[in-house]
Amino acid sequence: MTSREPSPAQPRLDRFHDALIRPFATVTVIIVTAVELPGAQLIAPVLALSLFAVVSALSISALFPWPRLRPWHRAGLLAGYAVGAAVLLPLAHATSVSAAFAFLASAAAGAKLASRRAAVAVAVLGALTATATTWVVTQVTSAPGQWPWWLTLTVGLPVYIGISRRDQVNAVLSARRAALQAQRAAASEAREAALVERGRIAREIHDVLGHSLSGIALQLDMADALNSSGRGEEAVQAIRTARALAVNSIGDTRRAVHALREDTLPLTETLRLMANGDAVAFQVVGEPGAVTVEAAHTVVRAAQEALTNAAKYAPGAARAMTLTCTEDQVSLTVANAPATAEAPAEVASGSGMGLIGMRERVALLGGTLRAGPDPDGGWTVHLAVPR
């Protein structure tokens, strides 16, 4: 199992513990023991002083992260720390706080080893070593003040304090990583929503202006060609047609911008307002329910285009609009009766580009669109898009 040192980004209480309490306790034990050792009655003084130097160095190093050490290297150092402190305990029994090294070693094992099994193993090794060493020393010497051998088994208990602290730090780090991932996911969703909205606006602009500008350009090219060939009246008529297309495109642009601003307006209410404004019969079949923004805009845009075409190419004809909602799709039918008046010359022959734009928009959503004449001479546009 891999091990990882806690991040510096810890709660304030953890930083206070790591920055003040642990270093203060460790340094206090080292200083007090160093002051007492020269005048204390030591068992095997050379060995005791050597162990004190090694254990002091290991206890100081345990205060710092070990990010570059592999797990088994860490376990080895902590095992050496625990064994050295355990052997020092009976040899320097005459000092007041040297026994604290064994307890600090067990706590360090719990805090620095990711594997609980390894941490407990180090603590048990330290406790058994302290017990065995103390029993041996009491058997071969008569120095008073030794710890009871059974009491030295408690030096391994602080490992659970270290494990608890490590679990707490890991829980905080996991929560912060989860919060960071949630923030990144929210930012990614926001960027995706912005891209979708940009695509929708681009399609609106393309549908409204692209076809109109293409028609205007064609009419102006035709006017230039007709004028060059001496057909002035036809050239003027082509220019008038181009102007009519420009005027219509301005109206279509306004309606598209209005539709883009209606995200919160229900589909049924939007179509009803549109029908009331143009004196169009409107009917709803089924329960509209929730409809995606893309589907709603597609239906509204198609309704605008169909009603505008009916008004241009069939002046005076009655128009009707029906919204049908089923469980899996929304469909719209716009029908007009035969014209009661002749269409103006500049719009009598359309390019069909508006119908192409509607088909493209519906196809992007996986829907269908049909448009064609009725047996009675009218015209019907029918589209269906998924909900």
Greater pLDDT, 203 or 75: 75
Greater pLDDT, 31 or 170: 31
Greater pLDDT, 153 or 313: 153
Give Cβ neighbours of residue 368 (< 8 Å, ≥ 6 apart).
Answer: 362, 383, 384
User: Residue range 315-325: average pLDDT?
Assistant: 90
Q: Within 10 A of 261 (CB to CB), how many other CB atoms are there? A: 9
Both tokens of 281, joined, read 């019969």
* Of 331, 333, 314, residue with least CA distance to 322: 333
Starting from the edge strand earliest in sequence, which strands make up the sheet with 329-336, in order?
281-285, 319-325, 329-336, 379-386, 368-373
Q: What is the pLDDT of residue 335?
A: 94
Beta carbons of 376 and 368 less than 8 angstroms apart? no
Q: What is the pLDDT of residue 343?
A: 59
Q: What is the pLDDT of residue 205?
A: 72
User: Residue range 209-232: average pLDDT?
Assistant: 83
Q: How confident is the model at residue 250 (pLDDT cuts 50, 70, 90)?
A: confident
Tokens 């390894």 correspond to 118
Helix axes 211-228, 232-260, angle to 10 degrees: 170
The string of pLDDT tens digits covering residues 354-381 is 677 788 888 888 999 999 898 888 999 9
Q: Is the pTM of this model over 0.95?
A: no
The maximal CA–CA distance of the chain, rounded, in angstroms, is: 133
Q: What is the pLDDT of residue 17?
A: 54
Least confident range from 73-82, 92-101, 354-363: namely 354-363
Q: Which amino acid is residue 164, in one-letter code?
A: S
Give CA angle at 133 (129, 135), nearest 5°.
120
Q: What span, in angstroms and rounded, lies between the C-alpha atoms of 67 and 78?
A: 15
Beta carbons of 295 and 365 less than 8 angstroms apart? yes
Collapsing DSSP states into helix, strand and coil, what is residue 365?
coil
Tokens 């079949």 correspond to 285
Give CA angle at 203 (187, 192), nearest 5°.
10
The string of pLDDT tens digits covering residues 187-219 is 888 888 788 777 777 777 776 676 677 778 888
Q: Which amino acid is residue 382, in one-letter code?
A: H
The string of pLDDT tens digits covering residues 171-187 is 888 999 999 999 998 88
DSSP secondary structure of 233-244 = HHHHHHHHHHHH
Q: What is the dihedral of CA 231, 236, 242, 246, to 10 degrees?
A: 170
Helix axes 45-61, 100-112, angle to 10 degrees: 30
Tokens 């992260």 correspond to 65
Tokens 């060939």 correspond to 229
DSSP secondary structure of 244-272 = HHHHHHHHHHHHHHHHHT-TTS-HHHHHH
Q: What span, in angstroms and rounded, lies between the C-alpha atoms of 66 and 72?
A: 12
Q: What is the pLDDT of residue 20?
A: 78
Q: Residue 359 phi/psi, 5° resolution? A: -60, -45
